[in-house]
Chain A
Amino acid sequence: MKRILLTSLLSAALVLPAAAFAQSDPALDARLKKLEEELRCLVCQNQSLADSSAPLAEDLRREVRGLAVQGKNDEQIKEYLVARYGDFVLYNPPVKGITWLLWFGPFVLLAGGGVIWWMVLRRRGRKGYDDDDAPPPNAKAVAAGVEKARALLDDPRA
């Protein structure tokens, strides 16, 4: 009995450190990698947390992993970082009053461009340019010229 107990204790001692290091769970790694790519490193601002090798980024990755191991979901981890570093850590800033222009400004510009385009097209249409079916703008003068030439050609005196 004693021997069995001793053997099991010894084998546990062998297995336990391995269990402690068995944190490299591929599913967790993939999830964290995806999450870290959506987070901005504060030191080298144009890199994501996943890409950066700055010491702070390493600390934050460790922190994020710790939170994930504790069972926090992606939203909770993001909230944790936003509470400390602000929306700046998110590559996808939330839609709210101050970011309204950021999110919708491009669409406003696009709509403005569309309005200008429509106005230009309408003006051209009215003048008759670029419209194959409509007679050219100087149609009357052309017709008058043709008429005049015909009259001259038909003149029996010529």
Chain B
Amino acid sequence: MKTLRLLLPLAVFLIIVAFLWVGLYRDPREVPSPLVDKPAPAFTLAQLHEPGKKLSTDDMKGQVWLLNVWASWCVSCRVEHPLLVELARANVVPVIGLNYKDRNELGKQWLAQNGDPYKISVVDADGRVGIDWGVYGVPETFVIDKNGMIRYKQIGPITTEALEQKILPLIRQLQKA
């Protein structure tokens, strides 16, 4: 009984420490998306470089693809951009850009300056499609499988780590399926 009385505060303390410790390594800004493993919300949007043409989610059925949400005003998009350019050069997977709440001329100018990794960029000027996809912090990147299901969501810039450990292995696995 006496040892229990001594050990109990220690145990409570250790439990609190464990919770705080885990909390140190978690990003409160990262809100798990309810859309993962759900069908990707459909859109049909005008293309950035050819406004007369449209791209719809149905056009991408049958292949694994990435949707990267970007904007010329987005600072951290610059962080991940070289990785996307490299990914496009390696030609692993088609990357579609969703130009989110941007102005077309600024978006095009930004791509001309920083390189264009996108197979096609589509325009979501008022952010409606962004809301459907649960976008809240640009940049965001979605991995969509052959059946049009979202399989992964990267919130914030893609890091080398995330690309090598999660995104690329997942893409390879999905492409085999």
Q: A59-B131, A60-B131 are in contact. Are A42 and B136 (CB under 8 A)?
A: yes
Q: Which of B28, B34, B131 contacts A45 (CB 8 A)?
A: B28
Contact B131 A88 (CB under 8 A): no
Contact A86 B31 (CB under 8 A): yes
- Residues of chain A at interface, number, CB under 8 A: 15
Contact A43 B127 (CB under 8 A): no
> Is residue A16 contacting chain B, with contact meaning CB distance below 8 A?
no
Shortest Cβ distance from residue B149 to the other chain A in the assembled complex, whole angstroms: 15
Q: A42-B136, A59-B131, A60-B131 are in contact. Are A84 and B34 (CB under 8 A)?
A: yes
Within 83-142 of A, Cβ neighbours of B (below 8 Å) are at: 83-88
Contact A83 B34 (CB under 8 A): yes
Contact B101 A55 (CB under 8 A): yes
> Is residue B169 contacting chain A, with contact meaning CB distance below 8 A?
no
Q: CB-nearest residue of chain B relative to A42?
A: B136
CA distance A45 to B126 in the complex (A): 22
> Is residue B132 contacting chain A, with contact meaning CB distance below 8 A?
yes
User: A63: which B residues are within 8 A, CB to CB?
Assistant: 128, 131
Q: Most B CB atoms within 10 A — which of A42, A59, A84, A88?
A: A84
CA distance A55 to B73 in the complex (A): 13
Interface string of A66-95 (1 = CB under 8 A from B): 000000000000000011111110000000
> Is residue B142 contacting chain A, with contact meaning CB distance below 8 A?
no
Shortest Cβ distance from residue B131 to the other chain A in the assembled complex, whole angstroms: 6
> Is residue B33 contacting chain A, with contact meaning CB distance below 8 A?
yes
User: A43: which B residues are within 8 A, CB to CB?
Assistant: 136-137
Q: CB-nearest residue of chain A relative to B135?
A: A56
Q: A45-B29, A60-B131, A63-B131 are in contact. Are A86 and B137 (CB under 8 A)?
A: no
Interface residues on B, range: 10 to 19
Judged by DSSP, the binding face of B is: loop
Within 95-129 of B, Cβ neighbours of A (below 8 Å) are at: 101, 126-128
> Is residue B133 contacting chain A, with contact meaning CB distance below 8 A?
yes
CA distance A8 to B12 in the complex (A): 78
Contact A84 B137 (CB under 8 A): no
> Is residue B23 contacting chain A, with contact meaning CB distance below 8 A?
no
Interface string of B28-43 (1 = CB under 8 A from A): 1101111100000000
Contact B101 A84 (CB under 8 A): no
CA distance A55 to B74 in the complex (A): 13
Closest 10 CB pairs of A and B: A42-B136, A84-B134, A86-B34, A88-B31, A59-B127, A85-B134, A56-B136, A63-B131, A43-B136, A86-B31
Interface residues of B (CB under 8 A from A): 28-29, 31-35, 101, 126-128, 130-134, 136-137
Interface residues of A (CB under 8 A from B): 42-43, 45, 55-56, 59-60, 63, 82-88
User: Can you list 26 A-B contacts (CB < 8 A)?
Assistant: A42-B136, A43-B136, A43-B137, A45-B28, A45-B29, A55-B101, A59-B126, A59-B127, A59-B131, A60-B131, A63-B131, A82-B34, A84-B34, A84-B35, A84-B131, A84-B132, A84-B133, A85-B31, A85-B33, A85-B34, A85-B134, A85-B136, A86-B31, A86-B33, A87-B34, A88-B32
